Amino acid sequence: MADVNESTTTPTATRCGRCQAALTEREQVTAGDRVFCRTCYDILKLQVRTGVAAMSQDINYPIAAIGAILGGVVGALAWWGLTVLTKIGFGLVAVVIGLLVGHGTLRFAGGKRSLGLQVLAVAVGALSFLVAVYLVNMTFFNEALAQRGEAWRVGFPPPSINVFYRVIAANFGIMKLVFLGIIVYEAWFIPRPIKLAAP
Ligand SMILES: [Zn+2]
C-alpha cells in the first residue's frame, strides 16, 4: 500500500509578455501591469522611444503653417462675425481661435508634435486674435464714422503697423489680455510633444 503523495505545489510560472519565456523572480521586469524579461523590456523601451522621437521628426512646417493659418482665419472670422452681429464682445468665442489654430497645426502636420509646431501655433494664434480684434474695432469705428457723417474709414488690411496698433490699443483691456493668454496656452498645449515618464 504505497501512498503516493503527488500533491507537490506547482507554481504557475510567470512568463514574459513578449517572448513567453518562463521567468524567475529576479528576471522579471514589470512595466505597467505586464511582466517582461530584461531583453524584451529593453526592446520595447527602444521601440517606444523611437516612436516618440519619430513623432517630432520630418515635420512639414509649411503645410503645418497652412493648417495653423486656416484655423486662425476661421476662428477670427467667426469671432468677428458673431461680435458684429451681437454687438457684444463674446470673449469666450475668442478662445475658439486657440483651439482651431492648435488643432489645425496638429492635423496638417500629420499628427506630429514638436516645440517648433508649438511656437508656430502660438505665433499664428496670437496674430489671429489681434487681427480679429482689429476687424471688430474697425467695424464699430466705421459705423461711428458713418453716423457722424465722416467720409474716411478704417480699412483692411491696415495701411500701416501704426494704424494696426492704434485700432487694437483703443480698447485693449484686461479681458482681452486674458483671452489672449488662453489662446496662447491652447496653441502651446495642443501640439506639445509627448513626454515619456522617467523610469
Ligand atoms: Zn521576453
Per-residue pLDDT tens digits for 29-50: 998 889 999 999 999 999 988 9
Looking at per-residue pLDDT, the higher value among 3 and 16 belongs to 16
Separation of CA 57 and ligand 1 centre (Å): 30
Q: How confident is the model at residue 2 (pLDDT cuts 50, 70, 90)?
A: very low
End-to-end CA distance of the chain: 58
Mean pLDDT check: name the lowest of 65-69, 99-103, 135-139. 135-139
Q: Is the peptide bond before 159 cis (omega within 30 degrees of 0)?
A: no
* Spatial contact of 174 and 101, defined as CB atoms under 8 Å apart: no
- Provide the pLDDT for residue 13: 80
8 Cα: distance to centroid of ligand 1 (angstroms) = 28
Torsion over CA: 27, 31, 35, 41 (sign): negative
Q: What is the pLDDT of residue 5?
A: 47
Instruction: Give tens-digit pLDDT for 72-115.
Output: 999 999 989 888 888 776 667 778 999 999 999 999 999 999 99
Question: What stretches of 25-114 show up as alpha helix (H) in DSSP?
Answer: 38-54, 61-86, 91-108
d(CA 81, CA 95): 15
**Measuring CA to CA, how many Å separate 188 from each of 30, 102, 110, 114, 118?**
34, 7, 17, 10, 5
Neighbours of ion ligand 1 (CB under 5 A): 16, 18-19, 37, 40
